[in-house]
Structure 1
Amino acid sequence: MNLDFSQNLVPSIPFILKGIWVTLGIVALAALLGFILGIILALCKISRVKLLHWLADAYTSIFRGTPLILQLMIIYYGLPQMTGFDIPAYAAAVSAFALNSGAYISEVIRAGIQAVDKGQREAAMALGVPYKKMMWDIVMPQAFKNILPALMNEFITLTKESALVSVIGAMDIMRRAYIVGGKTYAYFEPMLFVGLIYYLLIVGLTFVGKGIERRLRQSD
C-alpha cells in the first residue's frame, strides 16, 4: 500500500474540516423539521378521522418505500424542471432529509404514544382534561422517554446518510474529500479521514443520547 498522508491529506485537513459545519447544519435542521413533521403525522395516524389516518399512512409508505437518494434527486433536479426555479443544494438536502426522517420518526412516535397505558388517558378524560392538554402534558412526555433510544438511532442514521448530499454538490465533508482526492489523485487518505470524522460524530451523539437517558431516568 502506497499511502502518503503527509502529502495527500495533511495540507487539505482545514479544507475538509470546514465541511463539518455544513454536515451538522443539514443534519440539525433536517432532524428538527423531521421531528415536528413526525409528531404531526403520528397524531394523524392515531386520529379518529379516517382521511387523516389514510393520508399519514400513505405519506409514510411512499417515503419509507423509496430510496432517499431518489427523493433527494427529485427535489434537487426534478422540482426545478417542473417549477422553473432552481433549488439550492443545501435547501434540497434539508428538505429531502426532513421529509424522509419525518416518515420514520412518525412510526416511532406513534408506537410510543400507543405504548402509554390507556388507563392514564381514560383517567384524564374522566377528569375532564382537554384532549390537546392530555396529549402534550400527560401522554407525550411518557412516550418521549420510551422512544428516546429509537429517536437517537434515527438521528445517528440521518448523520451518516447526510453524506448523500455530496452527489448534488453540497460542500459537506464527503464532497470536500472527493475534491481533495481529485486534486491529489489519491482518494484513500481523505476518505479514511472523513470516515474517522463521521465515527467521532456518531460516538459523540451516542454519549449525548445516553446522557439524556440517564437524566430522564433520574427524574422518574
Structure 2
Amino acid sequence: MKLIDLLVEFGGDLLSGLGVTLQLAITGIIFASIIGIVCAIINVSKNKYLKIITSIYINIIRGTPFLVQAYIIYFGLPGAFGIRMSELTAGIIAISLNAGAYMAEIIRGGIEAVDKGQMEAARSLGLSSRKAMRKIILPQALRTMTPSLINQFIITLKDTSILSIIGIRELTMAGKLVIAKNYESMAMWSLVALYYFIIIYVITKISRYIERKTAYGK
C-alpha cells in the first residue's frame, strides 16, 4: 500500500492520535510549569526542610526512566492503594511530574541568573519577597529561560510517545493500531514520524520568533 493511500485511509486516525498527543503535552507542560515554579522558588529560599523534599523529588525523577515512572503511576499505585484512574489521567500525571522536575531546574537557573541586586532593590522599595519574586525577578528570568522552556516542551511532546505503553491512543499508539490492520510498518511509521516532524518544526519556528521578540525587548 502506497504512502499516499495510507494517508488518505488512515489520516483521520493519525490526526486523532496527534490531538491526544498535543493534549497530553500541553496539559502536562502547564502542570509541570506550576510544579517547576513552586520547586524553584523553594530551592532558592532559605527553608532547608522544603528544599530537602524538592531535592528528593527532582533527583528521583531525573534519576529514573520515564517509562518506569509511567508504569508505577498507572500499574503500581492502583495495585498498592486501590486507586482507580484512566489511562489519560495517569499519562497526564506522569508527564507532569517528569517534566516538572526538569522545569524546576530550568526555572531555578533562570532565577539565579538575575542579579541579586534586583531583589535587594525591590525589598528596599517596600516590596515583600513574594511580590518582588512575582513582579521583578520572574519576568526578568523568563527571558533567560525562554529557549530552555520551549525546548522542554518539545522534549515533553516527544515523550508522550512512551505513554502508548499504558494504552493511551496518542499518535504512536494510533500508528500501532493501524499497522495491526494492514502490516504496512515502514510506511506507517514514516507517516507517524512525519506528523511528529511537522508539529515540532512548527513549534521550533514559533520558539525562534519568540526568542527574537524577547531579545529585542532587552
In 2, are the aligned partners of 1:71 and 1:96 still within 8 Å (CA)?
yes
Q: 1:85 to 1:121 in 2, by over 3 A?
A: closer
| Aligned residue in 2 for 1:14 | 12
Q: CA deviation at 1:140?
A: 0.4
Aligned to 2:202: 204
> Which of residues 107, 110, 115 is equivalent to 2:108?
110
Long gaps (5+) in structure 2: none
Q: Aligned pair 1:146/2:151, yes or no?
A: no
1:187 is matched with 185
Match of 1:217 in 2: 215
The residue matched to 2:126 in structure 1 has which SS? coil
1:52 to 50, 53, 56: 50
Aligned-pair identity (%)? 35
- Give 1:8 shift: 4.8
Contact 1:9 1:189 in 2 (8 A): no
Q: Alpha carbon RMSD of aligned pairs, Å? A: 1.3
Q: TM-score, normalised by structure 2?
A: 0.96
User: SS in structure 2 opposite 1:171?
Assistant: coil
* CA–CA separation in structure 1 for the residues paired with 2:7 and 2:145: 40
Note the C-alpha offset of 1:129: 1.6
Report the residue type matching 2:73 in the other structure.
I
SS state at 1:170 partner: coil
CA shift in 2, pair 1:123/1:167, >3 Å: same
Q: Give per-residue Cα distances to partners, 1:101-160, cap 9 Å, x unaligned.
A: 010000011011011011111112222221111101110001010011011110000011
Partner secondary structure for residue 168 of structure 2? coil
Aligned-partner SS, 1:177: helix
5 Å-filtered alignment, 1:161-180, equals 161-180=159-178
Q: CA offsets, 1:164-199, max 9 Å, x none? A: 111111111110100111111221111100101101
Instruction: Show structure 1 runs of 4+ deviating over 3 A.
Output: 6-10
Unaligned runs of 5+ in 1: none
